[in-house]
Amino acid sequence: MTPDQTLHAPSAIGDLLDRARLGHLPTPAEALLLADCGEFERLLAVAADMRDQGYGDVISYSRKVFIPLTQLCRDSCHYCTFAQPPRRGVAAYLTPDEVLEVARAGQRAGCKEALFTLGDKPELRYRVAREELAGLGFATTLEYLGAMAALVLKETGLLPHLNPGVMARAEIDRLRPVSASMGIMLETASERLSRRGGPHFGSPDKQPAVRLATIAAAGEAAVPFTSGLLIGIGETRAERIAALLALRALHERHGHIQEIIIQNFLRQGRNADGAGEGACVRRSSVDDRRRAHPVRAADDHTGAAEPGRRRLAAIGRRGHQRLGRRLAGDARSREPGEALARGRGARPAHRGSRQDADRTAGNPPGVRVRSGALA
C-alpha cells in the first residue's frame, strides 16, 4: 500500500472521526480526507455529538424582516433568483418611506432584526441606479444603505444586519456604527467556477479572493460577521471543504465569524451535482462540523419540509430561518402586511426533543460583541 493509499484508508478516516468526537480540530489535510469518506452515517453521528458539545439541545432562530433595498446588481450570476434587471415603471430602490413601512410591519410582528438585502454596487452597471441615487441625494448604494440602516435603527430599534456584497475596509468602517452585524456569503473558494462556462463567469464580485478579502477586512474592523457556502452550483465536495477551511482560517485570525450558513441551490428539485436538497445539505453540514469549533454556528437556509428539518437538526444543524423567510416574500413585493399578520407571534416548530431559542434575544454563545458597533 502506498503512503497516499494509507492516508485515505478507511481506518485513517475512522481514527480522524474518533479524534474529532473528542474535540480534535482536523488539520487542512485531515479535513480534505472527508471528501472521500464513505462512512456517511458515522459522519452524521459525530457531527451531532460535536454540536451537542457546543450547544446542547438548543436550536436558535432569528426574528428578522427582510428589507430588499434594491434588486439591481452589477454581477451576472447564472443561478441567482434575487437580482433583477431594471424594469420600466418599477423603481430601482425602495424609498425611505417604503423602507420604514417594511421595518415597522416587521416590528409589529415581533421582529428584532432588519436584514438589508441588495445587489452588489448596481450603479457601476446601470444608469437608472445612478440617476435614482442622485435623486435620493446619494452617490453610491452603500451610502444610501448606511442612511437607511440608521433610519431603521432610530425609528424602530430593529438591529440592522447588512449584506451589501464586496466592501473595502473604509466602506466597512462607515457602515459599522449603524449595524449590529454584517455578512457576505463566500459561496465557494473555487476559482474554477469563475471561468468561462462556470456559474460565476462575468461576476467580478464573486471571485473568491475578493470575497475573502472582504471577510478579512471585516475581521480587522472587529465586525460580527456571517458567511457561508452555496452548494449545488457545480462545486465538488473537496471544494466545499476548501471553502470551509478558508473561513476557519479567517476566524482563527480575527475571531469575528459568528455564523456559517449552508445554503442550497436547487433547479427543478435537484442540485447541479444531481443530488437532492437534503443529501447536499446533510453532507455539507457534517463537513462543516468537522472543520469548525463546536461554538461556531452552522445554519441552513433550505426552507426544507418538516422531516428534512428534523433530519438536519439531528446531524448538527445549529439554527434555522423559518420566520425570516416567511417575511421575506412580502417585503420584497413591498406588501408586508398580509404575511406579517400571518407571521405574528410565529415561532419555528418544535424539533423533536430539542428546544428553540430566539438568538436575537441576547448574544448567542460564542459571539463577542465588540465596542464600536451601533455607537
- Give the tens place of pLDDT for each residue, 293-336: 433 444 555 444 455 555 555 555 555 443 443 344 444 343 44
pLDDT grade for 374, boundaries at 50, 70 and 90: low
Same domain, 298 and 192: yes
Highest mean pLDDT pick, 51-55, 89-93, 156-160, 271-275: 156-160
Gap between the Cα atoms of 186 and 165, Å rounded: 10
- 50 domain-assigned: yes
Q: Which of these ranges, 187-201, 204-218, 242-256, has the smallest mean pLDDT?
A: 187-201
pLDDT digits 0-9 by tens, 247-256: 999 999 999 9
Whether the pLDDT of residue 208 is over 60: the answer is yes
pLDDT the model gives residue 313:
58
CA angle centred on 154, ends 158 and 97, rounded to 5°: 85
Domain that holds residue 280: 26-56+184-320
- 172 domain-assigned: yes
- 278 domain-assigned: yes
Cell readout for 312 is 438536519
Same domain, 94 and 145: yes
Report the percentage of the chain scoring pLDDT > 90.
39
- 254 domain-assigned: yes
Provide φ and ψ at 269, rounded to 5°. Answer: 80, 0
pLDDT the model gives residue 343:
40
pLDDT the model gives residue 312:
59
In this predicted model, which residue has the larger pLDDT, 213 or 304?
213
pLDDT grade for 347, boundaries at 50, 70 and 90: very low
Provide φ and ψ at 25, rounded to 5°. Answer: -90, 120
Same domain, 136 and 251: no
Same domain, 211 and 295: yes
Whether the pLDDT of residue 375 is over 60: the answer is no
Same domain, 179 and 190: no
Gap between the Cα atoms of 212 and 201, Å rounded: 18
pLDDT the model gives residue 315:
52
Whether the pLDDT of residue 88 is over 80: the answer is yes
Other C-beta atoms lying within 10 Å of the C-beta of residue 78:
13
Same domain, 110 and 146: yes
Q: Which of these ranges, 4-18, 216-230, 347-361, has the smallest mean pLDDT?
A: 347-361
Same domain, 247 and 126: no
Provide φ and ψ at 273, rounded to 5°. Answer: -90, 5
Tell me what the pLDDT averaged over the chain comes to.
Answer: 76
Residue finishing a domain among 132, 166, 183: 183
Average pLDDT over residues 22-42: 86
Q: CA of 44: how far to CAs of 41, 49, 283, in Å?
A: 5, 9, 8
In this predicted model, which residue has the larger pLDDT, 173 or 324?
173
Same domain, 242 and 138: no
Q: How many residues belong to the chain?
A: 375
Residue finishing a domain among 298, 320, 342: 320
CATH label of the domain that carries residue 166: 3.20.20.70
Q: What is the pTM of this model?
A: 0.75
pLDDT grade for 359, boundaries at 50, 70 and 90: low
In this predicted model, which residue has the larger pLDDT, 121 or 148?
148
- 210 domain-assigned: yes
Residue finishing a domain among 320, 341, 362: 320
Average pLDDT over residues 150-179: 96
pLDDT the model gives residue 142:
96
- 129 domain-assigned: yes
**324-350 core/surface letters (b: 16 or more CB in 10 A; e: else):** bebbbebbbeeebeebbeebeebebee
In this predicted model, which residue has the larger pLDDT, 281 or 177?
177
Gap between the Cα atoms of 151 and 172, Å rounded: 18
Q: Count of domains in the chain? A: 2
Whether the pLDDT of residue 223 is over 90: the answer is yes
Residue with cell 407571534: 345
Average pLDDT over residues 258-268: 79
> Which residue type, as a one-letter code, is found at position 56?
G
Gap between the Cα atoms of 114 and 182, Å rounded: 11
Same domain, 173 and 280: no
Same domain, 249 and 178: no
- 358 domain-assigned: no
